[in-house]
Structures are given as structure tokens and as C-alpha cells.
Structure 1
Amino acid sequence: MLHKRSRESLSMKWIIPILFFICSITYMYNYYKYVCKSNYDYPFQDPTLPIDIRLDNLMSLLTPEEKIDMLWMGATTADGELPNLSVPRLNIRGYSWMGQGYVYRSASNGCNINCYSSVIDGNVSVLPQGTGIASTWNKNLIFQSGIMISDESMAIQYNYKNKSIDYKTGASSVINIARDPRWGRVPETYGECPILTGEIAVAFNKGIMGYAKLEDTELEYGIYKVIPVMRHFVDYDGPDDGRFSFNAIISDNDLRTTYLPVWKKLIDEKAIVGVMSSISAVNGIPSAANKYLLNDVLRNEWNFTGYVISDCDPMGDIQKSFHYTATLEQAVAISVSSGNDINCGEEFKFLHKAISYGFVNFDTINLAIRRGLHSRFLSGNLDPIGTDPYSSIPYSIVDSIEHKLLTKQIVSESIVLLQNPKQILPFNLTKIKQIAVIGPSSNDITVQAHTYHGTPSKWITTLDGIQSIASKYNINVVHTWGASRKNTSDEDFQHAIELYNESDIILFVGGLDESFEEEDTDRNTLQLPGGQLELIKLLMKLNKPFAILIISGSPISEPYIINENSAALLWISYFGQSGDAIADILFGLSIPSGCLPFTIPIDTSQLLPIDDYSMNKSPGRTYRYLDYFKAPPLFPFGYGLTYSKFKMNSKLNIYPNKINNLDTDIVANINIINQGPFPAQFVTQLYYEFPNSTVIELPIRELLQFNKTLFKINEQKTISFTFRIRNIPYSNRQQIPGIINLWIGNSRDKYAQSTLIIDFDS
């Protein structure tokens, strides 16, 4: 006879298998009942089912060969597509895992790569380059620009006939930190500050992805509108020369305080889906095979659930440039095993051999394709045609009047006024009979297009914009190129001086173009190239209202212009389609409100070698670590003037100003009044520093929050910021010093400040 406890144990032993059997039978019954009654051939096609069920079903239907061949993107086709293998037997359409390379400026399929020759899909709106987006310091405006770009992407996707590839993705912003102004890809970035970069990237991505409002935490329709693929995780910050074999030596502290924070912010804010792995190596490991970064940090530590795709060139370099593996089969195996799910390129074809050689198992392949397909489901790409809520966006919205006005506003707010002696600007329209527009960039669309862009219906140059306004006021406009960017020729100097002498006011428009700074091309100087400065010096000796507009994607430093203090000086990034916005600023029809997204050094002697990734090595990199006594900047990060006069309280109000809990809400506010004479926007920037800290790994100073606000003439407003010490970067990495200084101003100039004390004994 069994003991009572033995009988109970026997019962428990059988009850679990019995319940499992019943559940399995029930599941199979419901599954086959569904298949028999459903209008869909397979459950994965049914958008009413949970994604996990749909994904499980699709994974069960795909062959091993199909799974591998969905992990790579082939060469560009005749019509400009970058296809991923379709599966006709399951009615799965072709798909691009990363769209095209300029969704941060134009629709993801706006010109099908053939941006520079022919336009296949018609015209699209074109935004400024990245540093121009960041110099607006306007998160809400950039959110609207993301909506505009994704609207145009979807209008093209669903209205362009005979399209063979689905574009629900786009190679989006370069969120690498512009730690060195000589790096050729600085123009594509959002500047040198992780905080500004993170805020702008989140705003743009949320507009791209389908959030109704910037502050929302859930998508408007529950699916991604366009998936932004962010570039490049995580070390790609120069040099571009030799980037396919360059090894960046980065300390863990610099990784955690400079190079990684933007990526974590995007994940925390639900503003990222695709990650493009980088090109160079980090601490001896090629980025596309860096398990620590792609798996341990990105997924295990931060819980990233999207997919990782390689850049379109470096996969083969794991073997042939870095010599990290002996064969290409080993290279693709270690890449996918390390967390690089998808290959932009064809090298992942070799995964078939890599599996047969035993370099990688199929569980790894399943995990990689599962991550990618999960994102496709979340974008609605695998739903029936016509069910995407964004498929109803009309084609008429592409390059529309409304979008032209929005791009113009973005350009207007991106312009940074650096110097304005004697209020030279704005030019007085009622007192001008003739204006001379001089300079190599004044009527050249290449400085608007730069690199990675779509094609608008019309490029409006700076000269075009000035002529349009001048014609309304009977002002004559004369123009000459004056000086070359390419050489020091003075053949047009005399003509430029003659036009200067016969005109009332003069505008010089110069700077750089893509031959000086772009992918594959770094700079070795911060000066104006060619004969531009020599011509400027000649013109500055004459005594007429003179303004200089510098067009570049990164800092141009000419101390002579500043020291002479006789010309107004403005900077603008490669600005896209809307040169009429520049004319509005010059004539006071709009008021400048942009601020620098980078530091402008005096010269290259203040810079570390471009291949040195240390942030705190003397004199320090970027405004966060720069020793202003050893290397005073020509213009600091965050600097920007306006035509109006703003006044604020001398003291920043902090409540409370003493805390013993890192989770206490702290409010900082300041009263600001616009004393005129123009209604204008003002960027209020809140910074902090640890004045008594001797920890060299901590930044010397850093932006905490910012706000851009419109003020009427004589209007006063209280600008408030709320934060917690717990949310300050680095607060969880070590003890926060007991005194924190906070100020309103820019990274150098403190217009109003206060002190916060942390005392755990109080």
C-alpha cells in the first residue's frame, strides 16, 4: 500500500504531462481550424494575429537556404534598387533592409541612388546636411521634418508604379560624435555633443517612425512608418583615410561617456530599430564582428530588440584588411555569430559554406533572420497590400508647397550669426540701390546638395533668393565668382572690387564643398581654401557694409575676419534646396536663431592627432573636455547671435538648491525678455560642471538641457528645466562630486548661474 505522500507525488508526476498534452491538442486544433477557415494561405500573412505567432509560422515555412539568402543585400540593379531576396512561393516581396543612404535628408527612395544623374522617382524635398539640422536646436521642428521625409517616402512607396522593392527603411542619421573637425563626415553628424545629438536624433527618428507627437511613447498606428537605420555603431569618427583597416583605441571610460550614450538614449526613448555596425575596428576587433559591442552591450545590457546590419563595404575587410580571420567564410561566420544580423553586400552568401565547414551553427542563422523579420512585421511590410495605414498618403504631398515652406524654415533656423559689428545685418531694403553678391558658393548647387541627397524640383541658390527679394524692391543685383575654392587664382579679384565699388552693400559667399570634406576625404586645415581669404582681405579694407556667409559642414576658422571686426559673419551647413531662406535672413525677413553644434578652434594646433580617440588628453577634445585656458576657441559650442537683444536675470534660480537624494526633482528657471527690435527665437542652454572634481575622466562641462522659444518684442517669459541628478550622465558610474555649478549661456559664456549642493548627511 502506497504512503499518502507517495500517492500525491505520483499524481503531480502525471498531471503536468497530461496538461501539456491537452494544451498541445488544443493548439493544433485551433491552428488547423484557423487554416481551414482563414482567407490567408498562412498564419504569418494575417495581421490580426500576434507577431510572435506570425513569426513562428514564417520561420517554420522558410527553407535553410531562403533564411540565409534573406540575410544579405545584392548589388544595385539597373533601376537603382538594393534588393533583398524575395520568396515568391510565399508571396513575400523584395525588401531593402536599409533603404538608401540619405533618409536623414530626403525620402528613403527619393532617387534610387542615382541622385547625381537621373531621377527615377520624381522630385523630393531635400533638407540640410546633419550639422545644419543640429544647428537649429529645435527638436519640435526636426520632429516635423522627420514626418515630412517619411510621408514622402511612403507616398513614393505606394504610388510609384512597377516598384519591385519595398522601402520601409532608410539609412538615417550619422550619430557618431564629431570629435575632430577635420573628419570628412562631420557634415553628416549632429555635431560634437552627445546630448544635442541624442535629442535631435530622437526627434527626427520619432517623426520618421510614426509617432503622432514628439512626447508620445507609442506609435500612432502601432506599426513603423519608416524604419531608421542609424549609423555607425560605434567607433567611426575619423580618420576616413584608411578607415577599412583603421583600429580605434578607445578606453572603456571614453566609450561610456562619449561614444555610447547617444545610442542608449535612442533605445531608451524607443526611437531606434536598425543599427548599422561600423567600419573600423575597436580595440583590435572589427566592428562588424565585435561581440562585446553588438551583443554584450547593445542587446544584453541595453535590451535592444531590433536588428544590426553591416555597412555596404567592410564585411570582406574582416579577413583581407584586418586579417582577423583566415578565410571569408570564417569572417561572415564570426560576424553573424557576434550579432551582426544582416550584410549590406553579398558576402553573407558564404554562410552556406561556413555552415558546411562548421564555422557557425544554424541556431545563429535562425536568431539573425528572426530579428530582421520581427522588424519587418513591426513595419507592416509582411501585411497584405493595402492594409498599411500609410498607404493612403497621396503622391501630391511629395515636394509640395507645404514641404517647401517647412524645408525653408529649417534652413532659416539653421543659420548661425557669429559676428555683426555695427548691426550691419539685416541689410536695409529701403536704402539699397545695388547689392554685389561675390564668391564661389553664391550660385553653386553643389554646396547645397553636398553628398547623400535626393533631388528637389528646384535648387534655389543664395543668389536666386537675393534676386527674388531684390526684384520686389527695385534693387539691382550684380554677381561674380570672385575667388576659387580650388586654387589661389586672382583673375577675378579686380572684377569683384569693381562691383564692390559701384554697390551699396556686399555679400561674400564662400566656404567648402564635397571635394574638401565627405566620405573618404578628411581635411588637414580649418582655413578657407583657394583664394577666398585673400579676396576677403581686399574687400574688408574698403568701407562699405560687408557680410560674409561661410557654407561648410564643419568648422571654418579665419581669425583675421574676427580680429578685423568690420564684417558681419554667418555660418550655414550644406543647406539643401532653400537658398531663399538665406536671403530672408540677410534682409531681416527672418531672424537668425541657430547655434553652433561644434566648437570652432583657432587653428589645428589646438587639435590632437585625428587618429587619437582619447577625449581628455591635453588640451582635450570637444567643448566637454577642452581646456579653455590652453586652447581658447574662436567660437564655443552653442554660440549664436540674433538681431534682437535678449536680457535675463543675472542669477539662475534653482529649487531646491541643496539635496540629499539623487532622485529629487530639481527645477532651474530663468526670466528672459526680448527687448527688441525684432520678434525672435532664443535658444536657452543649461550647462553643468563639477568645479571641485579632480577626476579627469569626467567632462569639464556639459550641456544638460535646452529649449528654443519664440519671443515677441518686449515679451518676457520664464524658461524652466526639470531634472534629477540621477539622470545626469555618469551619476551611476561613480560618486557625483558634492558641488555642481549650473549656468545659462553657451559652453563658454555664463550669462546666469547658480550652485547646487549635494549633501547626504543633511
Structure 2
Amino acid sequence: MKWTIATLFFILPIIYITFYMYEYHKYLCKSNYDYPFQDPTLPIDTRLDNLMSLLTPEEKIDMLWMDGATPDGESPNLAVPRLNIRGYSWMGQGYVYRSASNGCNINCFSSVIDGNVSVLPQGTGIASTWNKNLIFQSGIMVSDESMAIHYNYKNRSVDYKTGASSVINIARDPRWGRVPETYGECPILTGEIAVAFNKGIMGYAQLEDTQLEYGIYKVTPIMRHFIDYDGPDNGRFSFNAIISDADLRTTYLPVWKKLIDEKAIVGIMSGISAVNGIPSAANKYLLNDVLRNEWNFTGYVISDCDPVGDIQRSFHYTATLEQAVAISVASGNDINCGPEFKLLHEAIAHGFVNLDIINSAISRGLRSRFLSGNFDPIGSDPYSSIPYSVVDSLEHKLLTKQVASESIVLLQNPKEILPFDITKIKQIAVIGPSSDDISVQAHTYHGTPSKWITTLDGIQSMALKYNVSVVHTWGASRRNTSDEDFTHALALSDESDIILFVGGLDESFEEEDTDRNTLELPGGQFELIRLIMELNKPFAILIISGSPISEPFIVSENQAALLWISYFGQSGDAIAEMLFGLTVPSGCLPFTIPMDTSQILPIDDYSMNKSPGRTYRYLDYNKAPPLFPFGFGLSYSKFTFYSKLIIFPNKINNLDIDITANISIINEGPFRAQFVVQLYYEFPNSTVIELPIRELLQFTKITLENNEQTTISFTFRVRNIPNSNRQQTPGIITFWIGNSRDRYAQATLVIDFDS
């Protein structure tokens, strides 16, 4: 019996190899390809199995890291010349979420390597549009320009088939330096915007589609950062976030699951800090147990470009760097942005990790390369025909301007100061440090357009058409309290018919490695605003920042119009057109604006429900009433809900019944305008303190002509309401139309299983 088993173990591999070589020979006899993995007509699993069988262990390891690049932006260690495998970069572009990465990186404004590109607003500006279809079109724009550069720009500097995409971390604390890059504080809004942008990037023909238009990825987006990276940013490489499982499941994880469920994600960047004592790039629970085992994520995970080494250096989670790279890849961090995974050769030799782990990691990465067409014949990419003429084109300039326009949030407008009444204006005073400064348009991680149009540029061009003069001075500094230009600024203001102050923050106040400790305007800005207000002239204030600025005095005085816009990209003319009434504000806040920092927990406290609560979802409005609530935004036009909110049916005994919420709205004018209809819900009798008090459920952005009316319908099931399985059922759910605080119409749904 022992001889028979031994014989089988000896003979079976020979039979398998003989059969494989026979089939391989048959394939070569009828194929134009040297290897099956090169044949795009074969199933990806077949191609992947073939390639895995051909690669040596050393080659597999060297494909798991990226450090440096050839002149065309591809990592040389990802090429295998003996198999005619060309170079690749797991994360070619540094900031595909704003523009094609034309060579500029963080905080550079004029460096142009791969030509000019179209530049979108920063993340919170994208989110404040609340317009999923517009953001989907923006994703298409960026991917079109990426592919046009990739295939047409000689000696390009990066690989444009992949790129770091949106920061979808939840902006739980307004002081965090990377809030500007996020889509705000709401998991629902963040998820909808992220899905829309990614689908445009990846190659979906329509937002509603569930399959890629041509079956391959147009651009592969890498979503950031899984999952705890939400501040503090200063010290992030050694910070340990203590997060309850309830908060993980209700706040930090849902966006990522939505992207996976919607097939709108390929790569995931692991986080920087630690979660509950475990460095993010080595967190097996999150990267393997949740992502792979619970959610069936089939894409790859890549580290950020520093944290793998910090597993050992900063967190002291392992004794050696070889152990750090071993535990990282074994925990589900497949790829290393950086060179540390070179040490996997030694890690295997020392027994810290085995080849099965390496095979799992590289197979996930290689699958994405197949899905991006990287192993297909040169010239077969359906996106290679996109002409270079689309890059920085007039059509794209108009699109970036529309995104900037729809991102502007009107917070107050006493006496209808806005839009400017050109029949009563001969001179406009444009005051402020951000009025003629491209740094507040670019912020961090941005491309370089052929022209930056500042706010002042846009106003001057617009005023020229109406024979209105414009005077300008910087007025106050963002960085110091100097009053050296106050007298000049006040004199220009006093001699003008209307005053516009343009101020706020710039990247030196909020970016990577830089958090804020206040929500106030820095430098001498507030003092100059206060002095201008004493002139009692028509006055508008535009705040440019990526996160909340809170000056309650400006609001309480109710003398000046107040607008907010994020770092808005290339198109300052969008602001000018809105000021002059050619367009109408339609943006809504993607975050809460607190009164001051006394309403916010310490930045290193990750609890969501600890009093007074974080974000609109947990905030106790009685204890910490906000200056402006999440979802707030005014219009020049008057919108009225002229019917009740109708929930049908309004009583159910089955959680899987389709529910509709209907409401009628009219634009009473005087402008054609857009409006964001927001549907919220709450479980008023809830006793589960770990769950949100209230939450956005659905939203839509509509356009209505003057005096036009329409009925809006939302459809949902109670079963699909977040965390409904932990709420009071039977019980009641209250729904309302409005924003997170203000309710324009309200209705109740009764759940009674005995009815």
C-alpha cells in the first residue's frame, strides 16, 4: 500500500506536466501568441493561471513593489523581458481625482511636464455640488485626458492607466489637515459621489451601468485610505486610532462596501496610522477578514508610500523590517508603494512568510493588470484612439467651470445683496488675500491648466462687459495680523458701490502633516471684515477653504452676503458669473460648520457618539447648535414645497416592501435654478446610542425654470436603510425633506408586524 501511494505521488506530477505541455503545444500550433496569457480572447482566469505558472518566485516578489520609474513612468521591476511583459505602475498618477497628473505634484503651480490639463476643484468642492451625474462626467473628462496623454504624449513622465483617486475617509473632525481632499462628513454623500467619479474614471458608459463599456478598465483608480486615516495628520505615522467596532461599522466602513457592491473600485490604499494597536498596512482584520472574506473584494491593496517601514520603525510592531514586510503582505497588503517589499526575498528565506502568500498577493495584482488591458497586444486598448485634442479643450474648460459653479454655497444673502445689480453699480471693490492668488485654486495634488483664472480675473472680465470699474487690493494677510493695507482697502471700499472680500485659507493651514487648532479666519482678515462692515455698504464675503470656517459675528450681524467655496481649480470665472447673476448658487455644505472648537471633541478621540457627538449624524443640536448644518445652501431663486411629504405605504408589516416618498416643489423665481432635494430619516424612539441620531437617505439635484413645478420621488426599502436591523422594529421612522437640521416637510412610517 505504501509503495502504491509513493508511486502515485511520483507519477501524477509527470502526468500533469505531460498533459499541460500537450495542451500548451496544441495552443501554440493554432495561436499567434507565444503564451496563452497574451491572448485577450481567453478567459482571464486561464490567462492568469498561465502567467502564474511561468513566473519565478523571484519575479513574483519583484512585481509586488514600486520604486522609481523609467522615462515613460513605469516601474522597471514590474517588467519581465523574457516573457515580453512591459513595465507598469501600480499607482502611476498621484492625484487622478482632480486632473490627469501632468507631472505636477503637491504644492506646485507652474511645473508642467506632460502638457496642460483640466483641473477640477478639491474634494470638498466636488462633494458640495451634490450632483452625481456632473461628477460622473468629470470622471470621464479626467480619464479621457489621462488616456490622451498616455498614448500621445512623447516621453510622458508617469503611467496614466492607474492613479491615486479620491480620499474617501470621513471628515469627522473639521481641523484635520486633509479634510479638503475628502467628500465631507457623510458616508452616504461620500459614497454616492465616489461611485459616480470612479465609474467615470473606470470606463462605464453610463452612471447606472453595471458593466464596463469595453470590458477593460480605462483608468484604474486607487481609493484612499483604508480605513482609519482621519486625523490627526501631524504625527500620523505613529498615531494609534482607537475605534469601536460599532463606529467602524456605522461610519468608517460603509463607503468602502458601497464602492465594492457597485463595482466601482479596483485598488485600495491601506491607511497610515494604526487601528486599535495594529498598523493599517498590517491589519489582517480589516484587509483580509473584512475586505476579502466578508465583502469578497477581488482587487488589490497597496500601501501608501511610507507606512510599511513604519510597521517596524514607528509602531515597533515587529522587531525587524523583514518581519514587517512579511506581516504586511500576509495580512492582505498586496503591493508596496516603495522599496521595502524587496526584503520579501530575505523574509521567505528566514521563514517569515511562505510562497502561497506571495502567490495570493501577486495574483490579485496581476488580475487587475489583465483587467486594465496591460497584457493585451499593443494598440488593442479601445481608449488608445482618444485624440490629444481633448486635453485642456474648450469643452473640458466649460465642464470644470460648471463644477466650480455648482460647488459654490450661498450661506446668507441679506437684502438680496447678491447677485450684483449692475444698474446700480459703477465700481466694485475687490478686497482680500485670496482674490488674485492661484494657490487657493490649486491647493495640494493638482495638475496645471493652460491658464489659472483667479476670482479677480473673472470679475474684471465680467465688469468690462457691463462698463463697471473694478478696484483691488490685498487688504489683509492670511499669515499675520498686519494692518498695513487696511487704510487703502477701506478707502477703496468706501468709494465703491459694492464690496467683495475674498479670503479664507490656503494649503499652509490645511494639508498633509498640517492640522488646524481653530476654525477662525487667520491673520488680519476678520478685523478688516469688521471694519468694512462698519461702512454700511453692500458687502459680500467669499470664503475659500477646504474645511469649515466659522465666524459667528459675520452671521449674527446679518449685514453681509456670505458664500463658501472649496479650492476651486482653474475656473475663477465661475465665481464671477455667479456674483453677476449669470448663474445661480446651488451648492450645499458637505460638512457641518460648528460655532467654534468648543463644540468638537479632541482630534485624537475617534468616538462618534461621545457628547456632544461628531458630524451631523451624531451631533446633539441642543448642546452644540451649529452655525450652519450639513446640507445647508441657499439660492437666488425661491423654492417652495407646495405639497406634504407623502410616504406610501405609510404602514408596513414587511421590511422588504418598496416605499416611495413623494413631494412637490415649485421654483417661484425669479431665476432658472438648480436645487438639491435631500431626504433624511431618524428612528425617534431609538435607544441604541452607538447609532446615528439622523442620517441622509437619498438626494437628487434638479433644475427648474422660473415658475416650473415638479414632483420628486424617492424609492427605498426599510431593510436597506443603514443599521435598520439594529433599530426599533416594530416602531416608527420619521422622514423629512430639508437639510440635516431644517425640516421643510415631514412624514412618518409605521412598522407593525401584527397589522
Aligning the two structures, in what range does the TM-score lie when normalised by the shorter sequence? Answer: over 0.9
Question: Is 1:322 the counterpart of 2:315 in the alignment?
Answer: yes
Question: Is 1:203 the counterpart of 2:196 in the alignment?
Answer: yes
Question: Is 1:449 the counterpart of 2:442 in the alignment?
Answer: yes
Q: 1:142, 1:269 → 2: CA distance?
A: 16
Contact 1:112 1:121 in 2 (8 A): no
The structural deviation recorded for 1:305 is 0.2
Q: Which sections of structure 1, spanning at least 5 residues, go unmatched?
A: 1-17
Question: Is 1:287 the counterpart of 2:312 in the alignment?
Answer: no
Structure 2 residue aligned with 1:505: 498
Contact 1:485 1:529 in 2 (8 A): yes
Question: Is 1:103 the counterpart of 2:96 in the alignment?
Answer: yes
Structure 2 residue aligned with 1:268: 261
Q: Which amino acid aligns with 1:364?
A: I
The structural deviation recorded for 1:327 is 0.1
Q: 1:689, 1:298 → 2: CA distance?
A: 29
Structure 1 residue aligned with 2:614: 621
* Equivalences for residues 290-439 of structure 1 within 5 A: 290-439=283-432
Q: 1:403, 1:66 → 2: CA distance?
A: 42
* SS of corresponding position for 1:668: strand
Q: Which amino acid aligns with 1:448?
A: Q
Deviations 1:459-501 (A, max 9, x none): 0000000011111111111100000000000000000011011
* Equivalences for residues 738-757 of structure 1 within 5 A: 738-757=731-750
Q: 1:451, 1:112 → 2: CA distance?
A: 7
The structural deviation recorded for 1:112 is 7.1
Closer/same/farther in 2, CA of residues 136 and 407 from structure 1, 3 Å limit? same
Q: 2:280, 2:16 → 1: CA distance?
A: 45
Q: 1:643, 1:109 → 2: CA distance?
A: 38
Closer/same/farther in 2, CA of residues 114 and 537 from structure 1, 3 Å limit? closer
Closer/same/farther in 2, CA of residues 657 and 450 from structure 1, 3 Å limit? same
The structural deviation recorded for 1:650 is 5.5
Q: 1:124, 1:448 → 2: CA distance?
A: 14
Q: Which amino acid aligns with 2:53?
A: S
Question: Is 1:41 the counterpart of 2:41 in the alignment?
Answer: no
Q: Which amino acid aligns with 1:187?
A: P
* SS of corresponding position for 1:152: helix
Q: Which amino acid aligns with 1:237?
A: D
Question: Is 1:467 the counterpart of 2:456 in the alignment?
Answer: no
Contact 1:95 1:167 in 2 (8 A): no
Structure 2 residue aligned with 1:254: 247
Q: Which amino acid aligns with 1:543?
A: N
Contact 1:94 1:166 in 2 (8 A): no
Structure 1 residue aligned with 2:82: 89
Q: Which amino acid aligns with 2:114?
A: D
Structure 2 residue aligned with 1:759: 752
Structure 2 residue aligned with 1:685: 678
Q: 1:585, 1:245 → 2: CA distance?
A: 45
Structure 1 residue aligned with 2:163: 170
Contact 2:667 2:705 in 1 (8 A): yes
Closer/same/farther in 2, CA of residues 49 and 77 from structure 1, 3 Å limit? closer
Deviations 1:6-64 (A, max 9, x none): xxxxxxxxxxxx99999997765443122133221111111111111111111112121
Q: Which amino acid aligns with 2:423?
A: T
Q: Which sections of structure 2, spanning at least 5 residues, go unmatched?
A: 1-10
- Larger deviation, residues 107-116 vs 679-688: 107-116
Residue of structure 2 aligned with 1:730, choices 699, 723, 735: 723
Q: Which amino acid aligns with 1:157?
A: H
Q: 2:631, 2:702 → 1: CA distance?
A: 15
Give the RMSD, CA atoms, in angstroms.
Answer: 1.8
Q: 2:206, 2:578 → 1: CA distance?
A: 29
The TM-score with structure 2 as length reference comes to 0.96
The structural deviation recorded for 1:81 is 6.4
Q: Which amino acid aligns with 1:508?
A: F
Structure 1 residue aligned with 2:588: 595
Deviations 1:227-255 (A, max 9, x none): 11000000000000111010000000000
Contact 1:254 1:615 in 2 (8 A): yes
Structure 2 residue aligned with 1:651: 644
Q: Which amino acid aligns with 2:550?
A: S
Contact 2:734 2:746 in 1 (8 A): yes
The structural deviation recorded for 1:87 is 1.4
The structural deviation recorded for 1:89 is 1.9
Structure 2 residue aligned with 1:10: none
The structural deviation recorded for 1:568 is 0.2
Structure 1 residue aligned with 2:122: 129
Q: 1:679, 1:166 → 2: CA distance?
A: 43
Q: Which amino acid aligns with 1:647?
A: T
The structural deviation recorded for 1:430 is 2.8
- Larger deviation, residues 91-100 vs 532-541: 91-100
Structure 1 residue aligned with 2:53: 60
Question: Is 1:718 the counterpart of 2:685 in the alignment?
Answer: no
The structural deviation recorded for 1:167 is 2.9
Structure 1 residue aligned with 2:5: none
Q: 1:363, 1:73 → 2: CA distance?
A: 21
The structural deviation recorded for 1:114 is 9.3
Deviations 1:531-569 (A, max 9, x none): 000000000011211100000000000001001100000
Q: Which amino acid aligns with 1:541?
A: E
Residue of structure 2 aligned with 1:549, choices 542, 551, 558: 542
Closer/same/farther in 2, CA of residues 191 and 165 from structure 1, 3 Å limit? closer
* SS of corresponding position for 2:456: helix
Deviations 1:143-170 (A, max 9, x none): 0000000000000000112348643111
Deviations 1:393-439 (A, max 9, x none): 00010000000000000000000000000000000123221111000
Q: 1:543, 1:728 → 2: CA distance?
A: 49
Identity among equivalent positions (%) equals 86
* SS of corresponding position for 1:732: helix
Q: 1:51, 1:701 → 2: CA distance?
A: 44
Contact 2:109 2:442 in 1 (8 A): no
Deviations 1:271-312 (A, max 9, x none): 000000000000000000000000000000000000000000
Q: 2:720, 2:107 → 1: CA distance?
A: 44
Residue of structure 2 aligned with 1:185, choices 157, 174, 178: 178
* SS of corresponding position for 2:609: coil
The structural deviation recorded for 1:718 is 0.1
Closer/same/farther in 2, CA of residues 234 and 104 from structure 1, 3 Å limit? same
Q: Which amino acid aligns with 2:484?
A: E
Residue of structure 1 aligned with 2:700, choices 707, 729, 749: 707
Q: 1:112, 1:567 → 2: CA distance?
A: 37
Deviations 1:556-593 (A, max 9, x none): 00001001100000000000000000001100000000
Q: 1:22, 1:452 → 2: CA distance?
A: 55
Q: Which amino acid aligns with 1:349?
A: K
Q: 2:603, 2:107 → 1: CA distance?
A: 32
Closer/same/farther in 2, CA of residues 754 and 84 from structure 1, 3 Å limit? farther
Closer/same/farther in 2, CA of residues 114 and 742 from structure 1, 3 Å limit? closer
- Larger deviation, residues 687-696 vs 298-307: 687-696
Q: 1:330, 1:512 → 2: CA distance?
A: 43
Question: Is 1:698 the counterpart of 2:691 in the alignment?
Answer: yes
Contact 2:151 2:384 in 1 (8 A): yes
Structure 2 residue aligned with 1:493: 486
Closer/same/farther in 2, CA of residues 82 and 596 from structure 1, 3 Å limit? farther
Q: Which amino acid aligns with 2:235?
A: G
